[in-house]
Amino acid sequence: MTTPKLVTANKFTTFNKNTAYVIPVTKKSDKLVIGANGIETSELTQIDLQSIGASAEFESLVRLPAPNGATYALVGVGTKSLNKDDLRNLGAAVSRKLASFKDVVFGFETSNADETAAILEGAALGTYVHNAYKGLTKGAEIKLQTVTVISAHKPTPASLNQIAVIAESVNLTRNLVNMPGRDLFPESLAKAVQNAAKGSGVTVQIWAEDRLTKEGLGGILGVGQGSSRGPRLVKLEYKPKVGKKHLALVGKGITFDTGGLSLKPSISMLGMNFDMTGAASVAAATIAIAKLQLPIKVTAWLCIAENMPSSTAQRPNDVIKARNGMTIEVLNTDAEGRLVLADGLSLASEAKPDYIVDVATLTGAVQIALGNQYAGLMGDQAAVDAVKAAAEEVGEMVWQLPLDKKLRGLIDSDIADIANVKMGNTAGGTIIGGLFLNEFVGNRAKGESDNIKWAHLDIAATAHNEGAAYGVIPKGATGSHVRTLVALAKQLG
């Protein structure tokens, strides 16, 4: 699907057929009133807004006929001043609800160009639908072609281009993640990323089993050995002519996770095609960074495998060797994401980048700890602070968890350098995952210090929305934290 054309106008001119004009509704002295806006609303002055079902509740919407076959869309905006995040979410929710119109015009007053851009960004993100697998029932149809904001504060062409590029990359992530495991497997995911990167300035390498073996990537090979569809590693590189910093991104790409021989219960297996969200996210972010020509070198490592049970699958108590030489006792084959990331983090570290950020649907425990709207964040404080600032800039939520080194002993192994889990221990599962990954950054397994700043984003709770769409979040794959990664690159560059 394509996003609507994003436009600004200095003032309202006339009502047009098949166009929805968005009017804010708020409260003043406990009475519903029309908020300040740039649209002709004289026909609404005598209407009792409460009697027609209008509300000041945020994102509520009531439609009324307007002149010339147009429509008023009365939208609740609450009773407080709207910040940039509010405007972005309103732009998304309203555009989604009015997607059957050809054009939507927002009359909201904005104080600066950033606020205007936020509404337009919301519209670009909020009108996503995934109907590729619909047959007789096609689902919601997006007819929306143009979204206009009436404001004297206009975003620059560069800002509008950034919105379009980022929305395209978020939607790329959503499209890939929404695909069923039958169609999206390691080889096809690698090729899809390769195709998406064409013309962006990103170079792509795809490593199959022979190269994985040669490079000593025992984690990816071990997880993928149970599937007839072999694992892959995809390396993306963006090298601008200017920019001194180097950011490495590492993504978990389990295209379907059965749990392996540590088989998941059937209900827990539903949605496990989403287990490659980390890989899709870092790929989409790298492509967006390149298209925006940000002055920072970016290398992304996509660690891709399908975790299946078979006669060739790895067994509990098997020992594998990661790229950095560290041996891992696999006590639970369903803790497979950290095994593939061990190789990716080791590879990323070898180039000694300034920052490494890994992104993964790593633990169910993060949802228990933080709910469905926050990603778990751990790592070196400098990297954590940078990711926090980037997330805050774009309105995505993260919550730092302590990387408590006292818990490291729980994943000691009797026969290998480390175990991938502590069997029978459910406490601090997200932190344990972070402590495992920390061993594969730089020289930390050897107890040596290095200058690499590392952060781990656990997006297991935010990658997929099972409920109704809200704000910029659609139902299904969300594209969680792609915008944070792009903002991080912009901030570091």
Q: What per-residue confidence (pLDDT) applies to 450?
A: 86
Q: What per-residue confidence (pLDDT) applies to 140?
A: 67
Spatial distance between the Cα atoms of 1 and 16, rounded to a whole number of angstroms = 25
pLDDT class of 52 with cuts at 50, 70, 90: very high
Question: What is the arithmetic mean of pLDDT over 129-142?
Answer: 80
Instruction: Kindly state the helix (H) or strand (E) to which residue 382 belongs, with its residue range.
Output: helix 381-394
Non-local (6+) Cβ contacts of 344 within 8 A are 233, 250, 251, 301, 302, 303, 358
For 162-492, CATH number out of 3.30.70.141, 3.40.640.10, 3.40.630.10, 3.20.20.210 equals 3.40.630.10
Using the predicted structure, report yes or no on whether residue 137 has a pLDDT greater than 90.
no
pLDDT tens sequence across 403-454: 999 999 999 999 999 999 999 988 999 999 999 999 999 999 888 878 999 9
Using the predicted structure, report yes or no on whether residue 1 has a pLDDT greater than 60.
no
CATH, range 5-154: 3.40.220.10
What percentage of the chain exceeds 70 in pLDDT? 99
**DSSP strand pairing (327-330 vs 418-419):** parallel
Question: What is the arithmetic mean of pLDDT over 312-318?
Answer: 98
| Residues tagged active-site | 264, 338
C-alpha neighbours within 13 Å on the C-beta side of residue 285: 33
Q: What per-residue confidence (pLDDT) applies to 131?
A: 87
Distance of CA 219 to the CA centre of its chain: 24
Lowest mean pLDDT among 141-155, 227-241, 340-354: 141-155
Amino acid letter, 79: T
- Name the β-bridge partners of 398: 375
pLDDT tens sequence across 442-480: 999 888 878 999 999 999 999 999 999 999 999 999 999
- Residue 411 is given by DSSP the state G
Question: What is the arithmetic mean of pLDDT over 111-125?
Answer: 97
Same fold, 5-154 and 162-492: no
Using the predicted structure, report yes or no on whether residue 11 has a pLDDT greater than 60.
yes
Q: What per-residue confidence (pLDDT) applies to 297?
A: 98
Q: Which SS3 state, helix, strand or coil, does residue 371 take?
A: coil
pLDDT tens sequence across 164-221: 999 999 999 999 999 999 999 999 999 999 999 999 999 999 999 999 999 999 999 9
pLDDT tens sequence across 64-110: 999 999 999 999 999 999 999 999 999 999 999 999 999 999 999 89
Question: What is the arithmetic mean of pLDDT over 56-64?
Answer: 96
Question: What is the arithmetic mean of pLDDT over 126-132?
Answer: 91
Spatial distance between the Cα atoms of 197 and 286, rounded to a whole number of angstroms = 9
pLDDT tens sequence across 256-290: 999 999 999 999 999 999 999 999 999 999 999 99
Q: What per-residue confidence (pLDDT) applies to 468?
A: 94
Domain ranges in the chain are 5-154, 162-492
Q: Tokens for 4?
A: 């609507």
Using the predicted structure, report yes or no on whether residue 493 has a pLDDT greater than 90.
yes
Nearest to 105 by CA among 31, 171, 41, 32: 41
Q: Which SS3 state, helix, strand or coil, does residue 470 take?
A: strand
Spatial distance between the Cα atoms of 232 and 187, rounded to a whole number of angstroms = 7
Mean pLDDT, the chain, integer:
96
pLDDT class of 139 with cuts at 50, 70, 90: low
